[in-house]
Structure 1
């Protein structure tokens, strides 16, 4: 038996079924937000408002001009979208959102409970611009201990099941 750690507990790997391997159900990518150029009136309009269909063309080419476009922080919306995957025959989502870009262990647990999906939470770190404060000053062994703790003890009562982003 190969065990897989989900946000609601361990399962046998045979229960994984149809799996999405690299998802971000909830995250905060605002560290990647890019200020528009001073004379970019359209960019500033987009930067200051929620995402709207009229901005779709620009956002396809410049997704980080909109601060709103850098965040997925609505548990209800994430659960609705994940439920569509479940209805389409999906079974498991591996969420690789690390600390520093909005990992939300309890939010993931809520989504799993509402949808019946197996959700595996990731741990570790992403690009330097998205590192939590103080990470760059930590000794490597302390970082390794922190990642191991995410798997063995958990964060907010939820244990990680995969390392990496």
Structure 2
């Protein structure tokens, strides 16, 4: 079923002068585009994830051609449904592979967006050694350098900041990650997407960001579906944060419909993002293991929304307008 997608075939790279138009830019692995060129967007997906841990991480341990052969059909499937952009949320030391993303973007025709930042969730298993000793300013300087110079010598720039924190009260280390993300945002204008879960850590992050001069609308509360108290979603959205409901799958469609109906009733759909958190090729499994497709939203969830009182315009907002607003590169400062 294709009626909800807004296919846009404008995937040519915008000239470098677009870099100066900070509030009109999205950064893909093939360069900057206008927000209007994103089209229908999946805001939280993964193409490759390596769970071995930062201390053993080796990005040469997988065959890029094999990975591409496994992943490409899933990208072509969602492209055929009308999607135009996929935001790849795998951070450094967890499987972020820039040459692979460029190749897959070129072969699939999808805009792919990658990130800078470090992932502290899962008790810091995926944090590099230097992250434990460096200051927030030093970490931020690394992430800013990826924006200014490109990632790992590729010249490819990140389109957002990805961090991760444990649930519960933020540890001093994770407070440092949030501060580093804030400092990076103030310099670059990149949006901060934080793997978070329940609301306690989300609101603590919002407070830290505001203390560093960053406005709530620069923050995406990733995995907000882990918080079952819908009033917390409302409170964060009313502050201006993005509420990311990014675990949509075959077994939970009604639960996500309920989340969205509640936010719609509060007139807050303009602060909501949806995705699958699906994929991915796992280098430690035979042939990459089981790959979950990116098609459930297009094939099943949007039809469910339409049959439960959502309009085409509201679906367009969720899949097109909100991602463009959330990931536009612009300094969003707290006043």
TM-score past 0.5 threshold: yes
Question: Does the residue aligned with 2:95 lie in a helix, a strand or coil?
Answer: coil
For 1:129 and 1:15, the matched residues in 2 are separated by: 36
1:78 to 2:100 alignment: no
Superposed, 1:84-163 pairs within 5 Å as 84-127=77-120, 128-155=124-151, 156-163=154-161
Q: Shift of the alpha carbon at 1:114?
A: 0.3
CA deviations over 1:45-103 (Å, ceiling 9, x no partner): xxxxxxxxxxxxxxxxxxxxxxxxxx9x7122122211111111110011111111010
Cα RMSD between the aligned structures? Answer: 2.1
Question: Does the residue aligned with 2:77 lie in a helix, a strand or coil?
Answer: helix
Question: Does the residue aligned with 2:150 lie in a helix, a strand or coil?
Answer: coil
Q: Shift of the alpha carbon at 1:150?
A: 1.6
Q: Is the 8 A contact 1:20 1:93 kept in 2?
A: yes
Question: How many equivalent pairs are there?
Answer: 127
Q: Shift of the alpha carbon at 1:27?
A: 1.9
Q: Shift of the alpha carbon at 1:14?
A: 0.1
Q: Is the 8 A contact 1:7 1:158 kept in 2?
A: yes
CA deviations over 1:98-134 (Å, ceiling 9, x no partner): 1110100111000100001011111111121111232
Which structure carries more relative contact order (alpha carbon 8 Å, separation 6+)?
Answer: 1
For 1:110 and 1:133, the matched residues in 2 are separated by: 30
Structure with bigger strand share is 1
The match for 1:6 among 28, 37, 40 is 28
TM-score normalised per structure 2: 0.36
Q: Any stretches of 5+ residues in structure 1 without a counterpart?
A: 32-70
Q: Shift of the alpha carbon at 1:30?
A: 2.8
For 1:29 and 1:88, the matched residues in 2 are separated by: 30
